[in-house]
Amino acid sequence: MSKIEAEIVKKPKEDTLVKRIARTLVACAALYVFITLLFTLGDLLQMVGQNKDSRNMEYGKARYEQVISEGVPEFYYVYSAEEMAENAELKEVKLFYFPAPSGDTEKFAVVLPGGGYFECNTEKVAFPTAAKLNELGYSAFVLQYRYGMAAKNGAPYAPVQDLGTALQYIFRHAGNTAGKFFNVDTENYAIYGFSAGGNLAGLFGSKELGYARYGLPKPGSLTLVYPWININEDIPLTGNPWQEAVQGVSQLIGNYFLLGSLSPTEYQKLAVCVQNHVTPDYPKTYIVHGDNDFVVPYETNSMVMVKALQQNNVQNVLQIAPGANHGFGLGIGTSAEGWVEKSVEFWLS
Convert the pLDDT of each residue in 81-92 to its tens digit: 999 999 999 999
Q: Which amino acid is at 287?
A: I
In whole angstroms, what is the distance from residue 122 CA to residue 114 CA?
8
Choose between 95 and 20: higher pLDDT: 95
Least confident of 21-25, 274-278, 294-298: 21-25
In whole angstroms, what is the distance from residue 146 CA to residue 167 CA?
15
Question: Tens of pLDDT along 134-158?
Answer: 999 999 999 999 999 999 999 999 9
Compute the 3-state secondary structure of the chain and give helix, strand, coil in percent, each to the nearest 5: 50, 15, 35
In whole angstroms, what is the distance from residue 86 CA to residue 318 CA?
43
Choose between 159 and 4: higher pLDDT: 159
In whole angstroms, what is the distance from residue 127 CA to residue 111 CA?
8
In whole angstroms, what is the distance from residue 288 CA to residue 311 CA?
19
Label residue 294 by pLDDT band (50, 70, 90).
Answer: confident
Q: What is residue 334's three-state secondary structure?
A: coil
Measured CA to CA in angstroms, residue 81 lies from 7, 77, 146 at distances of 86, 9, 17
Question: What pLDDT sits at residue 5?
Answer: 53
Residue 3: is its pLDDT beyond 70? no
In whole angstroms, what is the distance from residue 250 CA to residue 279 CA?
27
Report the 10 Å Cβ neighbour count for 115.
Answer: 21
Q: What domains, with CATH codes, occur in the chain?
A: 33-348 (3.40.50.1820)
